[in-house]
Amino acid sequence: MKKIGMGLIGPGFVAAHHLDAVRRLGDVDIVAIAGSSQQSTEKKAQAYKVDRAYGDYKALIADADVQEIHNTTPNHLHLPVTLAALQVGKHVISDKPLALNAEEGRKLRDAAVAAKVAHVVTFNYRGNPLIQQARGMVARGETGPLSFIHGYYLQDWMNDPNGPIFFRGRYHMFHQYNPQAAVWGNMNWGHAVSSDMIHWKHEPIALSPTPGGPDRDGVFSGSAVLDNGKATVIYTGVAPPTSESEATLRDGVHTWREAQCLALAQDDDLRTWKKLLDPVIAAPPPGLAVTGFRDPCVWREGNSWMLIVGSGVQHKGGAILLYNSPDLRHWTYLHTLVEGSSANAKGVNPVDTGEMWECPDFFPLGGKHVLLISTMGKVRWKVGTYASRRFTPEKEGVVDCGAYYAAKTMLDADGGRILWGWITETRPDADLIAAGWAGVMSLPRVLSLNSENELQMDVAPAAHQLRAAHTSISRDATAAAHQKQLEDLRLHDLAAELIFEVRSSADEFAIHLQCETGEKFATISYANKSGSRELRVDTMSAPISGESASPVRLHIYLDGSVLEIFANETTSLTKRVYQVPSGPLTLKLEGAAELTLLEAWQMKPISRDRLIGR
């Protein structure tokens, strides 16, 4: 029996699943694959054990040995790639979705009918046994109400917040997004909009890699600004280097050239964007041996635009590079805004060793300036003085000591400084793939400086609209009354807001979130050793400000697997807890501590049965 010749276009993460499934059939030959460049596709072909590699999808479609095309390209390429294959009589199996909208879908259907070829879409989530079981449990009422407070996707991967901006009465959140899988890769800019920073609606993907362009391998992080009222974004595009000396990103897995690119909004809904063909900053400053060159942050200063890029210098440490421009298109390198020092740590990825500072953000706050950088798994803040385009740090600390990264700020409708962050996953990739989604956006946090010029934060008051049933313990009640109210409190559906104030006469106390059966969900504890106070959430820890005898004030948001915890305003710690409790949670206070204040609210989901409003 003659085998069918199969060609695959789009050799990203999901391609491996298609190739594996085809190889199991036995009557199909994998002839070739095609990608965005000849060099990168040849590497993929070698890894996938495929003989032929094309840097142009049209060349693969023209291959006479290929009768069937698998289209695993990014979503915005489904129409042109599939249509080109159908028009020459090739059968097509397209990864989901068929197209970006119904009109495109009808065009593909008509082309398939005219060509008398098979046209298939691989969308099988609804038939997955796990999905069917979950659907049945919800229908039978076995799960209880589904409550979600944070914004995230029902499927696929999201990470860094990018270019959040308030524009024409709405908040726009762009972010890193992989529409093809629940793991990192194939970076696009996702887009959601909100009127209140709490209830969000998904929009179409804003920016995707351009085949053959400077961002052909990924649209990385960046910023959004208004230039004479027109929304403009500057972001990092990645592509294969033409030579080893061009590479700026080497993390042990990828080798890429990073460049800063610009796109202009073509409508007031910020749905359509037009990219400049060439980068506005094509390479790092000459002679600088950088460990990275990405994630631009842009602001207006007098008559000039200013821009910083996250970077680092080999064997010297992380660094932030400063540029200026009259028009957002022509940039001049000035100098480093601030530099770190080498930790002399061993590692392949310079971000892990601290020799690369990524996702920088720089802004005025409370008479000072604040620089945020992400490195070594944490977001770090530096508060200091900015004068004559030089920044002198005076205080520094960690924004969040838990599962929180790549923070980005914006101004709200009232001019307040709002912080967003990517709440990272702490479970294996296999679990993410099984779940079908990964990544959560934090609740909006309002930033300020305290009297010591330390960064402090709390969740924006906009989140108060999610408060439902309320329980409180008054300061005037007896200890016995406090204990009785605590014992009677129940937190349902893993959706709650809690405010505690605890005064301890000992060096340690703990608050256990547990089921009525005693089954533990999470433990929040406090320790005071040698005058150094510490907050712990299971195995994570963070320092707490204040004198040893002063009370500890905790503000906690519980939403499914997410715990966002704030202590004494200057400490925050985000924890992922993937355990599903068997019933409502109770609170148990352990240790020689007095609960002087407790307020608890059940939280309402941001929509009735979805994670994001429609």
Q: At what angle do helices 78-87 and 102-115 cross, to 10 degrees?
A: 10
* Contact call for residues 359 and 406 (beta carbons, < 8 A): yes
**317 phi/psi in degrees, rounded to 5:** 125, 180
Name 495's Cβ contacts closer than 8 Å, sequence gap at least 6.
147, 148, 149, 558, 559, 560, 602, 603, 604, 605
* Contact call for residues 35 and 44 (beta carbons, < 8 A): yes
- CA-nearest of 31, 36, 30 to 58 is 36
Which of the following is catalytic: 95, 156, 160, 559? Answer: 160
Looking up tokens 């104030």 gives 501
* Residue 160 known to be catalytic: yes
For residue 435, what are its two tokens? 């779940």
* Contact call for residues 384 and 393 (beta carbons, < 8 A): yes
**For the chain, the helix, strand and coil percentages under 3-state DSSP, each to the nearest 5:** 15, 50, 35
Q: How far is CA 57 from CA 14, 15, 83, 527, in A?
A: 17, 14, 12, 60
For residue 157, what are its two tokens? 């991967």
* Contact call for residues 258 and 311 (beta carbons, < 8 A): no
Name 196's Cβ contacts closer than 8 Å, sequence gap at least 6.
171, 462, 465
The H-assigned helical ranges of 94-139 are 102-115, 129-139
CA distance 423 to 420: 9
Strand partners of residue 222: 235
CA distance 268 to 442: 26
- CA-nearest of 301, 285, 405 to 362 is 301
DSSP 8-state class, residue 97: P
Catalytic residue list: 160
